[in-house]
Structure 1
Amino acid sequence: MVRALLDPSEGEPFEIERADGQSPVIFVCEHASRTMPRSLSGLGAKADTLTSHAAWDIGALATAQKLSALLDAPLIHQRFSRLVYDCNRPPDARDAIPERSEIHAIPGNRNLSDEARRQRVAEIYEPFRQALAELIAARTAPSRQPVIVTIHSFTRVYFGIARHRAIGLLHDRDRRLADAMLQLAEEQGISNAMRNYPYGPDDGVTHTLRLHAVQYGLLNVMIEYCSDLIDTELGQDEWARRTARLLETALERFHIDIHAAGPQQA
């Protein structure tokens, strides 16, 4: 019998901030934390792995929190490291519980029993999935449709290859919001944005969008920032402001007031 993954004193595997925010936007940050459950003893990984981008998306949570405050929008985020379970992956995805992340080995994820894998799903993924679904449902009405925006970051260098873009705007088969943002980005001084960069739907990174937005016809986008742009408070402030303005202008095309409840898209 596998013992409980989380002690009650460690709290829920997710947190919702500004649940009563008036904006139609719901921000999601799946890779928000590098915290490890005490029961896993760091998964046997090296200390530098547990502070690296392998364990979390550096700067993503702080940027999402600033966006949430600027727009008075709800934010839900994962409270434990994606090395325990990546909530932007379905349970059948091989990289939902990674044995290796780029150059980083994760010994504690090797040769997991089916029971141990099911436990990670039950204690981390399912509560997060259900909480996000309930948050969306609570804010959905015939005249009010939420907009789902997930916030991530990527490393400047990956497997030795430099990445030269500042921001990626990702989508699955629903490209409406990403298209609008990309069209507006350059005129707002964001000249190095790129579609489905540095990953795309074929890499399995649009799970949250597909599960919670695409199948319901909700506008959605995944935003990826280069982490060296948002690893300081100054950078987080700057990119939160720029992103808020970009979202506001893009959503005007869909007759959506980003700051408050009101008439929404059909």
Structure 2
Amino acid sequence: MSASPLQSDFSPIERLDGQPDSGLILLCDHASNALPAEYGTLGLPPAQLERHIGYDIGARAVTLALSARLRAPALLTRFSRLLIDPNRGADDPTLVMRLSDGALVPGNARVDHAEIARRIERFHRPYHRAIGDLVNDKLARGIVPVLFSVHSFTPVWRGVPRPWHVTLLWDKDPRIARPMIEAFRRDPALVVGDNEPYDGALEGDTLYQHATLRGLPHALIELRQDLIGTQEGAEDWADRIARALSPLIIDPAIRRIEHWGSRTGPLAQPSHR
């Protein structure tokens, strides 16, 4: 389900148009493990790029299926998070990882400020520019969009199983996250997290830049990778998410610009996703 790790003709963004009047924008920050040919495999064995350190396993397939079901536009990255992480602010020290979950990344070991600036300009900035342009286009049409970001997490972390099937991450704005958490918790078979295993308050991340600062409704969903690692699993979870999200993106009480001063719900232990 992932892209080939090496690509010579390289474009940093995958776009799905959706319906022009859609009130939803789908985002997938870690959709691909692909790398431009000039970077090789960043000195890693190719198998390392197939791990979660290279991309969010299953997230792209879920995003594509959601876009089809909800006829919503989507923006997805086409480069590995190991090249540069688009879900970080440009000044974040983890923007380019030299060590990721025990794996040394030789191609990043001696990366300097000039190379980081080059990667920002070629990969990071075009993605964020595309998001900003799409948001501005919606607002110009009189549409206040919901921004919804799709991620995935490993079923085990450092030997400890993670019990959640699905979690919602959010910072200050609960308008999307809380109703979705409640909807998923109606299924007794699901373990549903609220800002677990990560904290949704990460200043400078994608949703902070494009939604929190602009007062737009938003949330980030995290899905356990063993549940969406096949096309069947991705389609199943796209169905579940679409059912929970559909009523929210047509609710005028939710789809309005509103700035929130402080967090209004549970907070997990801090962790840098």
Normalising by structure 2, we get a TM-score of 0.86
Matched, 1:33 2:32: yes
Q: 1:21 to 1:70 in 2, by over 3 A?
A: farther
What is residue 248 of structure 1 aligned with on the other side? 246
- 8 A Cα contact 1:167 1:197, kept in partner: no
CA deviations on 1:183-238 (whole Å, 9 max, x unpaired) are: 22222556311111111135x38711110001111100000000100011111111
For residue 250 of structure 1, report the CA deviation from its aligned partner.
3.9
* d(CA) in 1 for partners of 2:188, 2:68: 23
* d(CA) in 1 for partners of 2:36, 2:115: 14
What is residue 233 of structure 1 aligned with on the other side? 231
For residue 156 of structure 1, report the CA deviation from its aligned partner.
0.5
Matched, 1:219 2:242: no
CA deviations on 1:42-67 (whole Å, 9 max, x unpaired) are: 11012221111110000000100000
What is residue 23 of structure 2 aligned with on the other side? 24
For residue 18 of structure 1, report the CA deviation from its aligned partner.
2.0
Normalising by structure 1, we get a TM-score of 0.88
* d(CA) in 2 for partners of 1:92, 1:173: 22
SS at match of 2:223: strand
Q: Which structure carries more helix by proportion? A: 1
What is residue 172 of structure 2 aligned with on the other side? 173
For residue 255 of structure 1, report the CA deviation from its aligned partner.
4.8
- 8 A Cα contact 2:217 2:256, kept in partner: no
Matched, 1:96 2:95: yes
| Residue range with higher mean Cα deviation, 244-253 or 218-227 | 244-253
After superposition, where does 1:118-129 map in structure 2 within 5 Å?
Answer: 118-129=117-128
Q: Which runs of 5+ in 1 are unaligned?
A: 1-7, 257-263
- 8 A Cα contact 1:56 1:82, kept in partner: yes
What is residue 153 of structure 2 aligned with on the other side? 154
For residue 253 of structure 1, report the CA deviation from its aligned partner.
5.3
What is residue 139 of structure 2 aligned with on the other side? 140
* d(CA) in 2 for partners of 1:115, 1:255: 46
SS at match of 1:221: strand
Matched, 1:52 2:31: no
Aligned residue identity for 2:99: R
For residue 12 of structure 1, report the CA deviation from its aligned partner.
2.3
Q: How many residues are matched?
A: 251
Matched, 1:81 2:80: yes
CA deviations on 1:18-40 (whole Å, 9 max, x unpaired) are: 25454211000010001111111
- 8 A Cα contact 1:188 1:246, kept in partner: no
CA deviations on 1:227-254 (whole Å, 9 max, x unpaired) are: 1000111111110000000112344655
What is residue 210 of structure 1 aligned with on the other side? 208
Aligned residue identity for 1:94: P
* d(CA) in 1 for partners of 2:157, 2:187: 28
Please report the RMSD computed on the Cα atoms of aligned residues, expressed in angstroms: 2.1
* d(CA) in 2 for partners of 1:18, 1:9: 25
Share of identical aligned residues, percent? 33
SS at match of 2:68: helix
Aligned residue identity for 1:161: V
* d(CA) in 2 for partners of 1:95, 1:104: 14
* d(CA) in 2 for partners of 1:46, 1:250: 43
